[in-house]
Chains A and B, each alone.
Chain A
Amino acid sequence: MSAVHFDLERFRQAVDAGPVLVDFWAPWCVHCRRLDPVFQEIAGDYAGRLQAGQVNIDDLPQLAAEYHVNVIPTLVLFRDGRAEASLTAPESKARIEAFLREHL
């Protein structure tokens, strides 16, 4: 189970359907690449409880603006269609797990 690539439509559908963890990233962002393997593992570990998806902010700058993502990588947890909490540039998988324990 790996993370989905969101376009605008799939993003809207997903956040309406249940909890979603979104990784805002861009191809030129080196910290984003380092985060990717861990994000894919999180997608697998939390399958069934949480959908994990990625938004390329170069393709969807309107989403980055809408959710005030000024820095990437930023993970945003959506619940009931709303941005519930965010985490910028986590330095370990453990940090993301702690974030999800607190907010999910």
Chain B
Amino acid sequence: MEPHWDVLIAGGGPAGYSAALYCARAGLRTLVLEQLSAGGQIALTTQVDNYPGFPEGIDGFELGQRMRQGAERFGARTQLAEVTALELNRPLKTVHTSAGVFQGRAVIVATGANPRRLGLPKEQALTGRGVSYCAACDGMFYRGKTVAVVGGGSTAAADALLLSRLCKKVILIHRRDTLRAASIEHQALLEAPNVEFRWNTTVIQFLGSDRLLGLRLRDLLSGAEAELPCDGVFLCIGRVPATALLQGQLELDSAGYLIADETTRTSIPGVFAAGDVRTKALRQAVTAAADGAVAAHYAEEYLRGAQ
């Protein structure tokens, strides 16, 4: 096993690399453990228009790379590895990963969030074969085809609008009889000639075996069931925090978010929660980055006290 680190950061999204930047600049030996690549969810969008400092907007993947470079410039290190278990109760904390075991005196959890699944049979098997969670990512595959969008929030509306420009037909399926947010997208959607709405409706089955062929729907008012043939379905039904590894160790709220206030401190001293994983009002790149800075500040304070 390697000599230990001052701070181990699980997750290399905006929260993780912002924390790494602040920790490294405070002179702490800092390692980021990231399973795929810098940037996290923001790396999935090609145009970020609400991160300050980029008047023309910036590509999310590039923003992630720059965050990593900024932290590494001051000595933070990155290990591309998946965190598989954490032992957080002792002063020296142990993190198990696909690339070995690491120890650190403080841990910042910045594992972010993932799209929520519907939880129906075959969902996993058909993901990438007609079932998708991101119109900006996969919309191109459905040019000229018929797709369904499930959900009623602002993401569902934005995705349906984006898809309406690419696809032959878009069917928006929502449990209620109106969209949640009266957004700019809302009006544009109602006016789009190729967008159809199925209100008070849920998906109860994915049809097809190798590839999605359609959906089985249930009308929530009448109970009637019907089949809807389509080439793809985009599920925009919210996100779930990546906190499965922490269940039973740290306090989570009923939706699975790590309970931590604006100090980012969790229920265990020396363990901090930054970004989309934490209970908070607004989950965006800029608030994730802000959390990272705050977590680094309290980690430094904790380490000073622990000496």
Q: Which of A10-57 contact B (CB under 8 A)?
A: 28-31, 33-38, 41
Per-residue contact bits, chain B 120-144, to A (CB 8 Å; 1 contact, 0 not): 0000000111000010110011000
B80 contacts partner chain A, Cβ-Cβ < 8 Å: yes
List chain B residues, Cβ under 8 A from A41.
80
Q: List B contacts of A38 (CB < 8 A).
A: 36-37, 80
A31 and B82 CA atoms in complex are apart in Å by: 17
List of B residues within 8 angstroms of A29 by Cβ: 137, 140
- Of the candidates B39, B82, B141, the one whose C-beta lies within 8 Å of that of A34 is B39
A89 contacts partner chain B, Cβ-Cβ < 8 Å: yes
User: With A71-B141, A93-B98, A97-B98 given, is the CB distance from A30 to B44 under 8 Å?
Assistant: yes
Q: Do A30 and B43 have beta carbons less than 8 Å apart?
A: yes
- What residues of chain A lie closer than 8 Å to B60, measured between beta carbons? 30
Q: If A30-B43, A41-B80 touch, does A91 touch B35 (CB 8 Å cutoff)?
A: yes
Compute how far the CA of A47 lies from the CA of B194 in the bound complex, rounded to whole angstroms.
Answer: 50
A residues contacting B by CB (< 8 A) are: 28-31, 33-38, 41, 70-71, 88-89, 91-95, 97
Top 5 closest pairs, chain A to chain B, by CB: A94-B98, A92-B35, A94-B82, A71-B128, A92-B82
B residues whose Cβ falls under 8 Å from a Cβ of A: 35-39, 43-46, 60-61, 80-82, 84, 98, 127-129, 134, 136-137, 140-141, 211
Q: List 30 A-B contacts (CB under 8 A).
A: A28-B140, A29-B137, A30-B43, A30-B44, A30-B45, A30-B46, A30-B60, A30-B134, A31-B44, A33-B61, A34-B37, A35-B36, A35-B37, A36-B37, A37-B36, A37-B80, A41-B80, A70-B129, A71-B128, A71-B141, A89-B127, A92-B35, A92-B36, A93-B35, A93-B80, A93-B82, A93-B98, A94-B98, A95-B82, A97-B98
